Amino acid sequence: MAGRMEGKVALISGSTRGIGRSMAEMFAAQRARVAVTGRTVEKGEKVVGIIKDAGGDAAFFPLDVTDEHSVRDTIEAVVGRFGSLSTLVNNAAPTAEVAQTVKPLAECTTAEWDRIMLGTLTGNVFWASKYAWPHLSAADGASIINVSSGQSILGITGFGAYAAAKGGVNSLTRVLAVEGAPSGIRCNCIVVGRVVSGRGDTGVGVGDKTGGRLTRLGNPNDIASAAVWLASDEAEFVTGSFVTADGGMSINGDAIMSS
């Protein structure tokens, strides 16, 4: 079904690689005009080139979600380039910082906690939604898609700050859905499980063969497909909802009981 996002302008944070990149390419394939964003210009321009070579419309905008001015200015630049903004995907995450701070919560410093919160919740969702709001309110079929994590609903040692931040993402999804309804803005959330993304990720560290999943490990396109549906008018009756894309891991009681 080509053209499911015809007429929409989508800003996807953290879309120079991984899940965000797959979203950018898939949104463009469905005829959305896409703002590719991130901190690495070379990677961003590469994604834009791939989209344009396939006949899509995209442009790269530098974005640092830990800088409020960068968030505000990037949103304004996107609207200046495309004329509107109808879809905001809050996908960016401080993956490097999270990887460097895997430790019991009592050992986490306040500075480490603050960095995770800033890159995951404050900048990525609060600032982005705040500055995009007037433009989304003016658009037809507007929506916000927040990308969360299975760690927001599972207790996993060493990820306290990240789990708390993603739990905040889940809560803000419901609030934004209620506050956005009068303006026609939908807000939904994708709770992401273990996704193998990037050349250096082989799926190591998932426990048994499926890591408790009922199907398989995920790939970026699994999440991008869910995002396309949530952003499209096919989901116009869906708001304040959570799409859990984790291969069934979080509901697999058999795996928990047998461990």
Task: Write out the DSSP string of 190-210.
Answer: EEE--B--STT---TT-SSSS
d(CA 70, CA 204): 35
- Which residue, among 27, 9, 15, has the nearest Cα to 85 in the 3D structure? 9
User: What are phi and psi for residue 37, nearest 5 degrees?
Assistant: -135, 155
Separation between Cα atoms, residue 104 and residue 101, nearest integer Å: 9
Who's near 224: CB < 8 A, 6+ residues apart?
19, 22, 23, 25, 26, 27
> What does the pLDDT read at residue 200?
53
- Rounded distance between C-alpha atoms, residue 239 and residue 82, angstroms: 25
**Would you identify the CATH topology of the domain 9-195+219-246?**
Rossmann fold (3.40.50)
Q: Which of the following is catalytic: 60, 127, 133, 162?
A: 162
Helix (H) or strand (E) holding 228: helix 220-231
**The pLDDT value given to residue 208:** 47
What are the tens digits of pLDDT across the range 19-35?
999 999 999 999 999 99
Task: Compute the average pLDDT of residues 45-53.
Answer: 98
Which band of pLDDT confidence, cut at 50, 70 and 90, is reported for residue 153? Answer: confident
Q: What is the pLDDT of residue 55?
A: 96
Q: What is the pTM of this model?
A: 0.91
Which pair of tokens denotes residue 42?
């070379």
Q: Which amino acid is at 36?
A: V
**What tens digit of pLDDT does each residue of 102-130 get?**
999 999 999 999 999 999 999 999 999 99
Give the rounded percent of residues in the chain with a pLDDT score beyond 70. Answer: 92
Residue 7 has pLDDT above 50, yes or no: yes
User: Has residue 199 got a pLDDT over 70?
Assistant: no
Is 131 one of the annotated active-site residues of the chain? no
Ranges assigned E (strand) in the chain: 9-12, 33-38, 57-62, 87-90, 143-149, 186-192, 242-245
CA–CA dist 165, 116 (Å, integer): 7
